[in-house]
Structure 1
Amino acid sequence: MPFATHVPAAPLRPFVAAAQGYRVPANPTGLHRGLPSRHLTLVVELRAPLGVSGLGDPVAAHGVVGGLHTGPALIDASLPQEGVQYALTPWGVRALLGVPAGELRGQAFDLALLLGPEVTSLVERLRAATSWAERFELVDATLVHRLHRAPGTSGEVAPEVRAAWRLLVASRGRLPVATVAGRVGWGRRHLSERFRLATGLTPKEAARVVRFETARSMLLDARRPALVDVAMRCGYADQPHLAREWRALAGCSVGTWLREELPFVHDTSGPEPARSPA
């Protein structure tokens, strides 16, 4: 089974948007692009250390966490990989890892820098586990323990920032930032600064990422519409606008991504599956 999905334990659900297990072969190109999304990513890779570049300093570790970003994370996919991936909300990073999501912007980190030596123990226990269910249970237990050790951290993000995030996601990135600011009762400049500190992106950048995510979902659909229709439905001015944004955010053309990555992307119901630490 190449992928396994998991509903996180109840205490984690406000902070974990999705959880997946993966077992994938090497990519013939030797590279996997971790595309921008509205979720931060926590990956525990059980074979060789996961090598990531393109987001700040390169990192190679069994546990990797990546902040929100507006360019591709470049993952070494030259060897088969196996592990678990949790998609975290910006509030989840603060609550579970103890750092504001804004501090992780555009970077990938060795998870041990945030969680300490317990990461080594977790990797060993995950390797010894005999089922995906057992692996998910181990990761859930680790994160719930972290949540209990840091009570109250989830409340440190202003409700106006959370409301702005929800508006941008609900509108699929098409709501103007000035309108979002007005609806939450803040000025645009004040919202942009507080939003950036809390999430790592400005509201304008978040809107770009949400539009891009929507386009990606459409491209993964078996009934894939024409690019001109994707552009129109996702709020781009035209197909060339979509092409420019895709190259800027993904680091390659739509055609290159479909040709090189699509055979290794199987799940269209949630965040990008497997091997993406951001």
Structure 2
Amino acid sequence: MSGLAHVPAAPLRPLVAHAYGYRAGPMPTGVHRGLPSGSLTLVVELARPMHVTGLASDVTAHAVVGGLHVAPAFIDATGEQEGVQYALTPPAAHALLGVPAVELSGLTVDLADIIGPAADVLVERLAAAATWSERFAALDAALLHRLGDSLPRVPPEVAEAWRVLFATGGMVAVPDVARHVGWGRRHLTERFRQSTGLTPKQAGRVARFQAARSLLLLPARPALAEVAVRCGYADQAHLAREWRAMAGCSVTTWVREELPFVQDAGAPGGRDSAP
């Protein structure tokens, strides 16, 4: 798989954690696992309609949006793949798509179900583009057209809680996070969920999972027992249970089947911006 990173237009940068174009042949297993992360996903797949299963909704479309989730999405990789993927911060759901992030939580949906016929126009423009630069420019232009004059306001307490959870790899307990931002745990949980689509506990799980994934991507990959300790899991068995729940397979299966795909793509390893 080959990948090309893109820096979006300046007004979009608070809303787009990272962006890249990709081109790949069929995977030997026929399936690519979409792992939980701190970003929503917007994909425009040009080779053929993208088929995604595994979450609360299945979808087959050229343009797909995925909300935050704590279980794997399974993407049909039996054929050629080529397109553009933007990782969106939670506020981008409302600012660019017109729906709050909580309404997309745990879902994959056809972009046309959110923005209507404009989704088909977008796919056609990207398909007609002659270069990657033209594709990125077309998607940036479409998103800028939808961007309002001001960004959605996220409570500063939620933004700080998000920052702490991901900056520490999920190794701070939710009650401690609540005390840090000056809210009660129950109030933080509800306001956090409304703003992001995840609870603080779920976000902490995703942050730990991302930290473990980052270690597995290192050229000198640590032993799994060390990964578990460094990422705050109780032990290697705890890491194994969480990995299976969030990736849909064992760590060793993911390393064997998915790691070459991820490394060859040069895809970002899960950078997260505060909501």
Same fold per TM (> 0.5)?
A: yes
Q: How far does residue 83 in structure 1 lie from its aligned partner after superposition?
A: 0.2
1:276 maps to none
2-side partners of 1:58 and 1:109: how far apart? 7
Q: Mind listing any 5+ residue stretches in structure 1 that lack a counterpart?
A: 273-278
1-side partners of 2:55 and 2:133: how far apart? 31
- The 8 Å contact of residues 98 and 153 in structure 1, kept in 2 or not, is answered as no
TM-score by length of structure 1 reads 0.94
- The 8 Å contact of residues 40 and 65 in structure 1, kept in 2 or not, is answered as yes
1:260 aligns with 2:257: yes
2:193 maps to 196
* Aligned counterpart for 1:238 among listed residues 235, 239, 244: 235
- 1:75-154 → structure 2 map (5 Å cutoff): 75-147=75-147, 150-154=148-152
Residue type at the aligned position of 2:32: H
Q: What secondary structure does 2:258 align onto? A: helix
RMSD: 1.3
2-side partners of 1:270 and 1:42: how far apart? 16
Alignment: residue pair count: 269
1-side partners of 2:149 and 2:269: how far apart? 28
1:174 aligns with 2:179: no
- 1:16-95 → structure 2 map (5 Å cutoff): 16-95=16-95
Residue type at the aligned position of 2:174: V
Runs of 4+ residues over 6 Å off in structure 1 = none
Residue type at the aligned position of 1:176: A
Q: How far does residue 186 in structure 1 lie from its aligned partner after superposition?
A: 0.8
Q: How far does residue 152 in structure 1 lie from its aligned partner after superposition?
A: 3.3
2-side partners of 1:153 and 1:261: how far apart? 36
1-side partners of 2:223 and 2:267: how far apart? 18
1-side partners of 2:268 and 2:144: how far apart? 25
- The 8 Å contact of residues 161 and 194 in structure 1, kept in 2 or not, is answered as yes
* Aligned counterpart for 2:158 among listed residues 147, 161, 167: 161
1:250 maps to 247
Q: Mind listing any 5+ residue stretches in structure 2 that lack a counterpart?
A: none
Q: What secondary structure does 1:265 align onto? A: helix
TM-score by length of structure 2 reads 0.95
2:205 maps to 208
Q: How far does residue 268 in structure 1 lie from its aligned partner after superposition?
A: 5.7
2-side partners of 1:68 and 1:17: how far apart? 14
Residue type at the aligned position of 2:164: L
2-side partners of 1:159 and 1:112: how far apart? 32
2-side partners of 1:98 and 1:269: how far apart? 26
